[in-house]
């Protein structure tokens, strides 16, 4: 394993918290992710279902977790099923978990081979009335590919039609939003790798570099330091590309006089960092570039100070937009008359700042949690204000990862962001 794993005690606590939310006489089932096919005989690199990882720490396919807290036999109250390996499988695909290893990683004592799942499931189902099934309930997520949890739900309703079925995701979502101390440490490690990558890139960027060359510098540093690579497809956007919010072709030339927007984050131990920095390709901001940059930076600092318990993402964003309006007026991009004539459906700032101020962060880069959830200490949010001026070829976004607290904690405090510091690093 390339990363430092979390102690099993955290996963034991996570399962205990979940069990307290289940109805009496119930069973909860969580599946690992599939190995996703690529083409020919290839599969994409495996990435564990975040809910499974949160509850067990297991980073392997073909695993199933069952929680049946009221089972009369204590050893049957939590079971982990995993694939049984043989010499041929090991020769071709490498090591898989042994039963002892599953116990050490997860803290689950009753570990069975996946071949025993069907018969064991029938025993569990005979003792419960309610079954909690898991699924990906991220509101904006749509896919034509049925995930393992979704396929499993269909099969369960066919095989056991007279049971009552309920959603597990709301409970796991509620738990995952507030990070355990061990999770904050993993997030900090992901942020530290991102810091290392950024400092490497500051020495590398100059006119004539290709965007993908810069992406490769980040990749090199992330993997060299024990990360899995990028937590999401990186955005390396020079010049006008910086005004394309989800640009990730990363194929263009970085030209003298352009800005370079880089939205990147390392993944460490399945936890995601999410950073954006915007730098001058030639190492020196023009007066106008610096003016816009400093406006975004002021908004970032003000927005960060607001990430305290008691507010919501929706309210927070609303307050940040008021600050953004003042900055846009100062930049000559909108006027007070524009504010007087704007509508709620078409606010004046939206022409230059058209996305949210941040999102939840954790095991997924767009982690679980809604815009109406009340912030609590221990939640982690990105903070990413921006100003996009396509007519001037300027797109500037700045983003840090912040732990919600009475005194918000910037997990990216060590990453250069002040314009003078950026220029010093690039000159050195």
Q: Considering the candidates 41, 144, 337, 406, report the single residue annotated as catalytic.
A: 41
Q: Looking at the structure, do residues 120 and 169 belong to the same domain, yes or no?
A: yes
Q: Considering the candidates 182, 366, 371, 409, report the single residue annotated as catalytic.
A: 366
Flag whether 367 is in a domain. Answer: yes
Q: Looking at the structure, do residues 130 and 244 belong to the same domain, yes or no?
A: no
Q: What is the pLDDT of residue 410?
A: 98
Flag whether 350 is in a domain. Answer: yes
Q: Is 397 a catalytic residue?
A: yes
* pLDDT above 90: residue 138: no
Please, which residues have CB within 8 angstroms of residue 112's CB and are 6 or more apart in sequence?
A: 79, 80, 81, 82, 120
Q: Looking at the structure, do residues 187 and 161 belong to the same domain, yes or no?
A: no
Q: Is 366 a catalytic residue?
A: yes
Q: Considering the candidates 359, 364, 401, 423, report the single residue annotated as catalytic.
A: 359
Q: Looking at the structure, do residues 209 and 355 belong to the same domain, yes or no?
A: yes
Please, which residues have CB within 8 angstroms of residue 102's CB and are 6 or more apart in sequence?
A: 58, 80, 82, 108, 111
The CATH number of residue 118's host domain is 3.40.350.10
Percent of the chain residues topping a pLDDT of 70:
100
Q: Considering the candidates 34, 149, 221, 274, report the single residue annotated as catalytic.
A: 274
Rg (CA), the chain: 24
Q: Is 137 a catalytic residue?
A: no
Flag whether 151 is in a domain. Answer: yes
Q: Looking at the structure, do residues 124 and 236 belong to the same domain, yes or no?
A: no
Q: Considering the candidates 87, 246, 337, 407, report the single residue annotated as catalytic.
A: 246
Q: Looking at the structure, do residues 168 and 193 belong to the same domain, yes or no?
A: no
Q: Looking at the structure, do residues 26 and 161 belong to the same domain, yes or no?
A: yes
Q: How many CA atoms lie within 13 A of 72 on its CB side?
A: 3
Please give the mean pLDDT across all residues of the chain: 96
* pLDDT above 80: residue 112: yes
Domain boundary among 176, 204, 229: 176
> Whole-angstrom Cα distance, residue 314 to residue 376?
14
218 falls in which pLDDT band (50, 70, 90)? very high
Q: Considering the candidates 127, 200, 355, 371, report the single residue annotated as catalytic.
A: 355
Q: Considering the candidates 180, 388, 401, 423, report the single residue annotated as catalytic.
A: 388
Q: Looking at the structure, do residues 117 and 206 belong to the same domain, yes or no?
A: no
How many structural domains is the chain composed of? 2
DSSP-derived letter for residue 70 is T
Task: List, in sequence order, the alpha helices (H) in 232-335.
Answer: 287-305, 313-330
Q: Looking at the structure, do residues 415 and 289 belong to the same domain, yes or no?
A: yes
Q: How many CA atoms lie within 13 A of 379 on its CB side?
A: 29
Q: Is 101 a catalytic residue?
A: no
Domain boundary among 155, 176, 197: 176
Q: Considering the candidates 51, 399, 401, 423, report the single residue annotated as catalytic.
A: 399
Q: Is 95 a catalytic residue?
A: no
Residue of 5, 110, 7, 8 whose CA lies nearest to 67: 110
Flag whether 3 is in a domain. Answer: no
Q: Looking at the structure, do residues 195 and 132 belong to the same domain, yes or no?
A: no
Q: Is 71 a catalytic residue?
A: no
88 falls in which pLDDT band (50, 70, 90)? confident
pLDDT tens digits, one per residue of 317-338: 999 999 999 999 999 999 999 9
Q: What phi-psi label fits residue 327: left (phi over 0), alpha (psi between -120 and 50 degrees) or beta?
A: alpha
Burial class (CB in 10 A: 0-12, 13-18, 19+), 210: middle
Flag whether 1 is in a domain. Answer: no
Q: Is 221 a catalytic residue?
A: no
- According to DSSP, the β-strands at 164-167 and 130-133 are parallel
Q: Looking at the structure, do residues 420 and 354 belong to the same domain, yes or no?
A: yes
Q: Looking at the structure, do residues 141 and 198 belong to the same domain, yes or no?
A: no
pLDDT tens digits, one per residue of 243-276: 999 999 999 999 999 999 999 999 999 999 999 9
Q: Taking residues 348-358, what's their average pLDDT?
A: 97
The CATH number of residue 403's host domain is 3.90.230.10
Q: Are 395 and 278 in contact (CB under 8 A)?
A: yes
Q: Are 130 and 23 in contact (CB under 8 A)?
A: yes
Q: Are 265 and 273 in contact (CB under 8 A)?
A: yes
- Domain containing 141 equals 8-176
pLDDT tens digits, one per residue of 27-38: 999 999 998 889
Flag whether 2 is in a domain. Answer: no
Q: Is 263 a catalytic residue?
A: yes
Q: Is 384 a catalytic residue?
A: yes
Q: Considering the candidates 192, 258, 384, 423, report the single residue annotated as catalytic.
A: 384
113 falls in which pLDDT band (50, 70, 90)? very high
pTM (2 decimals)? 0.95
């Amino acid at each position: 394993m390339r990363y430092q794993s979390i102690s099993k005690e955290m996963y034991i606590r996570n399962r205990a918290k979940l069990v307290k939310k289940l109805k009496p006489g119930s069973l909860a089932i969580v599946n690992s992710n599939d190995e996703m096919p690529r083409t020919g005989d290839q599969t994409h690199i495996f990435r564990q279902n975040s809910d499974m990882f949160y509850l067990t720490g297991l980073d392997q396919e073909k695993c199933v977790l069952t929680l049946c807290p009221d089972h009369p036999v204590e050893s049957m109250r939590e079971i982990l099923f995993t694939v049984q390996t043989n010499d041929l499988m090991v020769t071709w695909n490498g090591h898989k978990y042994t039963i002892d290893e599953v116990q050490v990683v997860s803290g689950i004592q009753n570990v069975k081979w996946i071949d025993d799942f069907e018969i064991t499931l029938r025993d569990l189902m005979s003792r419960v009335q309610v079954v909690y099934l898991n699924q990906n309930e991220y509101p904006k997520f749509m896919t034509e590919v049925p995930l393992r949890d979704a396929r499993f739900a269909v099969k369960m309703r066919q095989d056991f039609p007279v049971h009552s079925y309920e959603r597990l995701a709301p409970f796991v979502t509620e738990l995952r939003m507030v990070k355990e101390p061990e999770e904050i440490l993993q997030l900090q490690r992901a942020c530290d790798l991102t810091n290392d990558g950024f400092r490497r890139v500051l020495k590398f960027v100059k006119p004539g570099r290709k965007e993908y060359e810069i992406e490769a510098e980040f990749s090199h540093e992330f993997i060299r330091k024990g990360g899995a690579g990028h937590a999401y497809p990186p955005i390396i956007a020079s010049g006008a590309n910086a005004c394309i919010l989800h640009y990730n072709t990363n194929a263009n030339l970085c030209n003298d006089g352009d800005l370079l927007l880089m939205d990147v984050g390392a993944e460490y131990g399945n936890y995601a960092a999410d950073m954006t920095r915007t730098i001058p390709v030639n190492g020196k901001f023009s007066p106008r570039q610096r003016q816009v940059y400093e406006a975004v930076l002021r908004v970032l600092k003000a927005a960060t100070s607001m990430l305290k318990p008691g507010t919501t993402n929706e309210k927070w964003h609303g307050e940040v937009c008021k600050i953004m309006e003042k900055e846009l007026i100062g930049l000559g991009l909108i006027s007070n008359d524009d504010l007087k004539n704007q509508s709620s459906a078409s606010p004046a700032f939206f022409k230059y700042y058209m996305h949210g101020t941040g999102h939840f962060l954790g095991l997924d880069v767009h982690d679980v949690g809604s815009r109406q959830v009340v912030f609590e200490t221990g939640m982690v949010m990105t903070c990413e204000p921006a100003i996009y001026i396509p007519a001037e070829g300027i797109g500037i976004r700045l983003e840090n990862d912040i732990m919600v607290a009475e005194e918000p904690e910037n997990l990216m405090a060590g990453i250069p962001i002040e314009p003078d510091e950026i220029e010093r690093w690039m000159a050195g």
